[in-house]
């Protein structure tokens, strides 16, 4: 069993920055995919950024160079550096990892961007 805990969500003004963290805990597992998703009120969950392996980074089209995903395999962590935040980035941000054929999700961290 893998547990994920996200942190770093906060209230921030438009144009500001936040760094989200997600740490996976458990024992005896190997993570392949790590990613960040978000869900705004009344909207479907969308993919923000993902790393299918340690060398590859992908982003949703709306990111447009503002966010950077990274991972630290030694501590089973994934991060999302978010710059130039906009009010439309307001959402609950979730991390997800894949272990074998199983996908695991955190409970989310709330990011609120005020105008």
18-32: per-residue pLDDT in tens?
999 999 998 778 888
Say what the pLDDT of residue 66 is: 97
Whose tokens are 């005020």? That residue is: 114
- Cα→Cα distances 100→32, 65, 67, 78, 95, Å: 8, 30, 27, 18, 17
Say what the pLDDT of residue 64 is: 86
Whose tokens are 């991390």? That residue is: 95
- Between strands 31-39 and 46-53, the pairing is antiparallel
> In this model, does residue 90 exceed pLDDT 80?
yes
Say what the pLDDT of residue 24 is: 95
The H-assigned helical ranges of the chain are: none
Contact criterion met (CB below 8 Å) for 33 and 51: yes
């Amino acid at each position: 069993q893998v547990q994920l805990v996200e942190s770093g969500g906060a209230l921030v003004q438009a144009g500001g920055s936040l760094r989200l963290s997600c740490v996976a805990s458990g024992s005896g597992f190997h993570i392949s995919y790590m990613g960040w998703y978000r869900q705004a009120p009344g909207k479907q969950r969308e993919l923000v950024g993902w790393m299918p392996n340690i060398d590859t980074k992908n982003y949703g089209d709306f990111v447009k160079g503002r966010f950077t995903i990274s991972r630290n395999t030694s501590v089973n962590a994934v991060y999302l550096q978010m710059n130039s935040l906009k009010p439309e980035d307001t959402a609950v941000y979730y991390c997800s990892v894949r272990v074998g054929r199983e996908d695991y999700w955190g409970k989310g961290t709330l990011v609120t961007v005020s105008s």
